[in-house]
Structure 1
Amino acid sequence: MNTLPEWTDLRYFLELARSGTLSGTSRRLAVEHTTVARRIDRLEEQLGATLFDRSREGYQLTEMGLALLPHAEAMESAVTAAQDELTGAQISVRGIVRLGVPEIFGSRIVAPALVELLQAHPDLSVDLLLLPRFANLANREADLGVMLDPPSTGRYMVTRLASFRMYIYGAPSYLAKHPPIKVHADLMQHDFVDYVQDRLASSGLNYMGELGFTPHRRMCCTSLAAQCEAAALGLGLILAPPYAVPNDGRLVRVLENHFYAERSFCLVAPTDLYRLQRVRVVWNLLRDLAEKNPALFIIPESR
């Protein structure tokens, strides 16, 4: 290698590693996709190494690409910190933040909260990834994410976002047509809607394992939103957190506080990205949202 790579080429490398596609990278950098391809080709030629495996599904980092990734990320953090210090950008939040959150939590809770944040920071943009699984922060699919299981390896900032409880709900139409539920044992006579068991994004999603019996699952789905809709139409009972249940009376709680499964959401970001102010602004929004709205996660017990 006769010359050192340009930072701008490394920036293209980072964005392509995170998005996995030329189109996604071109959108985030506001350039043509051909420009992205050209920059990556030039960087590979300079380094004398293939950084990406190309396929119809997108771009995946090779072993050499993975080796380059932490060095490029360190340069990104240094450049951003220098820009903040020299331009006073610490008082102006700008850039794109990619946030990965569970699907129904993101659509019903996070998306509305982001509106006010983005109105307050016109130079900030958010890519909200609503996923039926948890964001892969190791390959930089997202800058920060809400998940059940924090990474066990790597350098991350991790905090508990909120504990939440999964209560039993049923549609009034379903409950009217089936045996009454007065005690826990009565649940054994009923149908349930649940996650697809061999597609669980986390073992923590096996809430029904705490029922004490094997439930009769009428329908399983990878989407909690779809589960709620099926249950609201009377297909069966469902375990769901308060924030996921439509506030329209189509689902009502069963057995009140006599049974629930409890879990905790964690908020996670790679340490180097957490240093970026635009990431911390979104991080703080989520923490504030959870702190000020505990009833979204746990219903106060009636006396």
Structure 2
Amino acid sequence: MSDPRSVRADDLRYLAAVVETGRLTSAAKKLGVDHSTVSRRLQALEQTLGARLLARVDEGWVLTEPGRAVIEHARMIDRAVELAAQAAGPSEPPGLTATVRITAADGFGTYFVTPAMARVRLQHPRLRIELATGARELTLRDTTFDIAVTPGPPPPATRLHTELLCEYDNGFYATEHYLREHGNPDSMSELAKHPIIWFVEELEKVHEIDLSSIVPNASLAFSSTNVFAQLEATRRGIGIGLLSKFVAHTAPELRPVAAGLPPTRVAVTLAARRDALKRPEVHVVREALHREVSVRGNELI
């Protein structure tokens, strides 16, 4: 066991900042020091505790197993310093002041997460929200987010807290002009004769729908990893887009094609590390997301 007298409280604050931001440079900016200072203090903390607390991954820095055991204590110290500063300064309105980092798919993040967070900010104007978009697989190693909103059902076995947030429908859409010019397919075999707009499947990190099982031998005219590029391609008449209902309905010129689509309802999972859920700001964000999809359920299904 390390001697508590040898542990510098400031070093624990440095650890909390790196975990919050995911990068040494971002943590240094938050703390008002240079990144070499952050690196040096983290090394000193690891040496004092006799354990590796952080590991480097492509996305930045993530907690190791010993790091996960330490981080909540580090956050408590960081919060205590913040409260002490507030107590000594002028009186400020109550509210949450921390940072919450969310990751979500492009479309869902834009049309549902962002409006929900706008409402959260009205109640907590000093709360900082960071939203990183792009579908991703859930992994316990990843400490670069507080809440992840990802397509697909909750995984059967994980140490993350996961829950079903909502479901949404998908369909084939095209412009009225395209349907007049090229016909409105009324079967999957007819649909296969039309150019289809969809994801670049080999680059997808999370597979929402298997297009080949719905339209065998589909002819892909335009593929993109970004749903907004797919939407624009459909609006421009390149072909027929397989789009989520809530995305397609943002373009009034689009119409569902006649071909009946087999069930392609996609589940949306909300995931969070269990330690993060103990933080009041993360709880507020989680509740806001559930409220948003509940109120706007008709846009999803």
- Same fold by TM (over 0.5)? yes
- Where 1:283 maps in the other structure, the secondary structure is helix
Q: Displacement of 1:194 after TM fit?
A: 1.1
Change in Cα spacing, 1:53 to 1:288, as seen in structure 2 (3 Å) is closer
Change in Cα spacing, 1:28 to 1:231, as seen in structure 2 (3 Å) is farther
Instruction: Give the aligned partner of residue 194 of structure 1.
Output: 198
**Match for residue 39 of structure 1 among 38, 41, 55:** 41
Instruction: Give the aligned partner of residue 232 of structure 2.
Output: 229
Q: Displacement of 1:36 after TM fit?
A: 2.1
8 A contact 1:28–1:96 mirrored in 2: no
Q: Displacement of 1:34 after TM fit?
A: 4.3
Letter matched to residue 145 of structure 2: A
Change in Cα spacing, 1:28 to 1:297, as seen in structure 2 (3 Å) is farther
Change in Cα spacing, 1:214 to 1:141, as seen in structure 2 (3 Å) is farther
- Where 1:244 maps in the other structure, the secondary structure is helix
Instruction: Give the aligned partner of residue 288 of structure 1.
Output: 291
Change in Cα spacing, 1:133 to 1:228, as seen in structure 2 (3 Å) is farther
Determine the C-alpha separation between the residues in 1 that align with 2:9 and 2:158: 24
Instruction: Give the aligned partner of residue 180 of structure 2.
Output: 176
Determine the C-alpha separation between the residues in 1 that align with 2:291 and 2:191: 37
Q: Displacement of 1:246 after TM fit?
A: 5.3
Determine the C-alpha separation between the residues in 2 that align with 1:171 and 1:272: 47
Aligned residues: 291
Q: Displacement of 1:60 after TM fit?
A: 4.2
Q: Displacement of 1:281 after TM fit?
A: 0.3
- Gapped regions of structure 1 (runs ≥ 5): 299-303
8 A contact 1:227–1:238 mirrored in 2: yes
Instruction: Give the aligned partner of residue 75 of structure 1.
Output: 73
TM-score (norm 2): 0.82
Map residues 119-138 of structure 1 onto 2, 5 A cutoff.
Answer: 119-134=122-137, 136=139, 138=141
8 A contact 1:97–1:143 mirrored in 2: yes
Letter matched to residue 216 of structure 1: S
- Where 2:275 maps in the other structure, the secondary structure is helix
Change in Cα spacing, 1:79 to 1:117, as seen in structure 2 (3 Å) is same
Letter matched to residue 170 of structure 1: A
**Match for residue 115 of structure 1 among 112, 118, 124:** 118
Instruction: Give the aligned partner of residue 89 of structure 2.
Output: none
Determine the C-alpha separation between the residues in 1 that align with 2:133 and 2:68: 26
- Where 1:139 maps in the other structure, the secondary structure is coil
RMSD (Å), alpha carbons: 3.3
- Gapped regions of structure 2 (runs ≥ 5): 87-93
- 42-51 or 283-292: which moved more? 42-51
Q: Displacement of 1:99 after TM fit?
A: 0.8
Change in Cα spacing, 1:105 to 1:260, as seen in structure 2 (3 Å) is same
Q: Displacement of 1:100 after TM fit?
A: 0.8
Instruction: Give the aligned partner of residue 147 of structure 2.
Output: 144
Instruction: Give the aligned partner of residue 253 of structure 1.
Output: 256
Q: Displacement of 1:48 after TM fit?
A: 5.4
Change in Cα spacing, 1:288 to 1:60, as seen in structure 2 (3 Å) is closer
Q: Displacement of 1:297 after TM fit?
A: 0.9
8 A contact 1:144–1:279 mirrored in 2: yes
Q: Displacement of 1:286 after TM fit?
A: 0.3
Q: Displacement of 1:185 after TM fit?
A: 2.9
Q: Is residue 159 of structure 1 aligned with residue 163 of structure 2?
A: yes
Determine the C-alpha separation between the residues in 1 that align with 2:137 and 2:121: 24
Change in Cα spacing, 1:187 to 1:287, as seen in structure 2 (3 Å) is same
TM-score (norm 1): 0.81
Q: Is residue 66 of structure 1 aligned with residue 68 of structure 2?
A: no
Determine the C-alpha separation between the residues in 2 that align with 1:195 and 1:58: 23
Determine the C-alpha separation between the residues in 1 that align with 2:198 and 2:137: 18
Instruction: Give the aligned partner of residue 106 of structure 1.
Output: 109
Determine the C-alpha separation between the residues in 2 that align with 1:172 and 1:27: 51
